[in-house]
Amino acid sequence: MKNIFKITLVILTTLLLANCNRSNSNKSTLTGLSFNDPKNGNFIKGNTEAGQKPPLGMVAVEGGTFTMGQVQDDVMFDWNTTPKQLHVRSFFMDEAEVTNSEYFLYVQYTKNVFPPSEENYKHIYNSVLPDTLVWRKSLGNTDILSENYFRHPAYSDYPVVGVTWLQANEYCKWRTNAVNLKTLIDKGHIKNIFEQDSISNFFDTDVFLTDATKLFDGDSTIYKRGVGRTVRQRGVPRPGRGAFQGRKISQADGILSQRFRLPTEAEWEFAAKANIENREYNNIRGRKKYAWNGKYSRAKGNRNKGDQLANFKQGKGQYSGLPGWSSDGSDIPNKIKSYPPNGFGLYDMSGNVAEWTADVYRPIIDNEANDFNYFRGNIFTKKMIDKEGNVVIAASDASAEVAYDTLPNGKIIPKQLPGTIKYIPITKDDATLRRNFSVSDNSNIGDGDLNSSRFYKDDEDQFKARPNMYNSPKSPEIVTNSETGATTFTNDDKNRTTLISDISRVYKGGSWSDREYWLDPAQRRYLPEYMATNYIGFRCVSDKVGPMSNQKRKARNPSR
């Protein structure tokens, strides 16, 4: 009896203290006003105690300082990999590349929401399909891969390829919306719309936070409940059964996931190098050539001794090794997680497929201009507001015409998905008296240096004072015959000095078709954002909010 009494007393005390702490955390320590209290203004304060968990399929990458562009083999002796010291913030990153099955889910979802049988949506489905013809070879028997690699279940866990930078970006946006929709359904805030036959499944996080009435064909009964409880005011009739309770969910509640996106080049290289493996106290010992620790590409352990630690081309005609001894396991991209992970728990950061990053390519990483979370390619925008002061939604009505764009390679893509918020570039007025930015498009900020660009002039204005170092070919002029519908492409025939442009995107990491040289995470290449290959895939990242890390500092790396 005495033990039962003691246990009961401890439990009651614990509950009392917990309630006291909860009541204190729900009250402003500076004003005394209550948070999340319908009787006291219902001022919002989200739950900060739970912390941010890694999204599904992702691992946490703790940020810090590293030297970007530090390579082992610098045979070119150019600016491309000049070492620069930068700081990268903490983030979450996919364990492995996005697979065929995961991307196929996106394709199927898009087809359901925007049926290609409807005239207004006929180009949307095709715009997300990978280019399976990247497998074709003029002198090769590879049609079996064109027909099967993306859709056959034998390749479902293989990294998706044939995806452009633009398509990878759109997948990241869709993933953000899909994850947030699933979260809201699981938490009971929204009905399971996949069971509703008459409701469009399209969901956009921005629209939900801005004006939720624009979603689900305007059916407000889809929303089951908000956050907190509803206090009935005097004289107001009691709401009926099933009526919406609580207040509208906002970003301040911390319920919705941070957006998914492509990693910046600095983030990708930082994650691939995983210098925590050769860290001792606050110093880095040695220099890493690969994503794993060590200077050799073959395993040294007894179990896999002699096997390659990544999937890459080992020599002329050597994609996998001799029959019966496939030293890297595959002659094309291999199943994800087929090779050991690096120090952060990330797979295939060297080899298998190269990966798109978010950055616009330039030979120089300008850490003099910015050494904190470096990224080139910012385009600052704002929501488009109509004359009535409402946020403009693209093709919000099912009958509204969807605006399409034709890429230089002839592919037709929507300028913006129907039902999403329209954004426009900021103006000079928006940047008035700001010290941190002055223009909307910052892709070509600080292009090159004067000594390197003084001989280049703008072809359209030879007397223009500002030199133009990156004088790349212009996109073809596209003319469509209004009577026949035939499209004619007229290519740029002027003399150009470089292939670098504001739509050239960086891709990193060696691939199954690359030699060992490209396995070094610091090596970098670029390709126009609308082009696809059979050796470039991608993975997503998501920003970590709050503290850099919840772990205690360790004097030495535990592996040492």
Secondary structure (DSSP) of 418-465: TTSBPEEE--TGGGTT-SS---SB-TTTT-S-HHHHTT---TT-TT-S
Residue written as tokens 């009250």?
A: 27
Residue written as tokens 């920003």?
A: 543
Q: Report yes or no: 169 and 247 within 8 Å, Cβ to Cβ.
A: no
Q: Record the tokens describing residue 310, joined without a space.
A: 């990544």
| Gap between the Cα atoms of 376 and 272, Å rounded | 19
Between the CA of residue 199 and those of 114, 195, 420, 508, what are the distances in Å?
A: 13, 9, 17, 41
Q: Report yes or no: 499 and 512 within 8 Å, Cβ to Cβ.
A: no
| Gap between the Cα atoms of 542 and 52, Å rounded | 11
| Gap between the Cα atoms of 556 and 560, Å rounded | 7
Burial class (CB in 10 A: 0-12, 13-18, 19+), 356: buried
Q: Report yes or no: 405 and 524 within 8 Å, Cβ to Cβ.
A: no
Nearest to 151 by CA among 169, 129, 173: 129
DSSP per-residue string spanning 479-507:
EE-TTT--EEEE---S--S-S--TTEEEE
Q: Record the tokens describing residue 551, joined without a space.
A: 């772990």
pLDDT of residue 445: 87
Cβ atoms within 10 A of the Cβ of 188, count?
9
First to last CA, the chain: 53
Q: Which residues pair with 527 in a beta bridge?
A: 505
Please state whether 507 falls in left (phi above 0), alpha (psi between -120 and 50) or beta: beta
Question: What residue ranges of the chain have pLDDT lower than 50?
Answer: 20-24, 461-466
- Torsion of the alpha carbons at 83, 87, 93 and 98, rounded to the nearest 10: -40
Query: Cβ contacts of residue 218 below 8 Å, gap of 6+?
Result: none
DSSP per-residue string spanning 42-99:
-B-----SS-PPPPTTEEEE--EEEEET--S--SS-SGGG--EEEEE--EEEESSPPB
Residue written as tokens 């064909």?
A: 217
| Gap between the Cα atoms of 260 and 178, Å rounded | 11
What sign has the CA pseudo-torsion 526, 531, 537, 538? positive
- List phi, psi (to 5°) of 468: -125, 100
What sign has the CA pseudo-torsion 515, 520, 522, 527? positive
The CA angle 369-373-377, to the nearest 5 degrees, is 70
How do strand 541-543 and strand 325-326 relate by DSSP bridges?
A: unpaired
pLDDT of residue 22: 47
pLDDT of residue 530: 96
- List phi, psi (to 5°) of 261: -155, 175
Q: Report yes or no: 52 and 255 within 8 Å, Cβ to Cβ.
A: no
Instruction: Report which DSSP code applies to 417.
Output: -
pLDDT of residue 236: 61
| Gap between the Cα atoms of 196 and 190, Å rounded | 12
Q: Record the tokens describing residue 196, joined without a space.
A: 């509703």
- Torsion of the alpha carbons at 19, 20, 25 and 27, rounded to the nearest 10: 110
Q: How far is CA 262 from the centre of its chain?
A: 3
| Gap between the Cα atoms of 507 and 537, Å rounded | 9
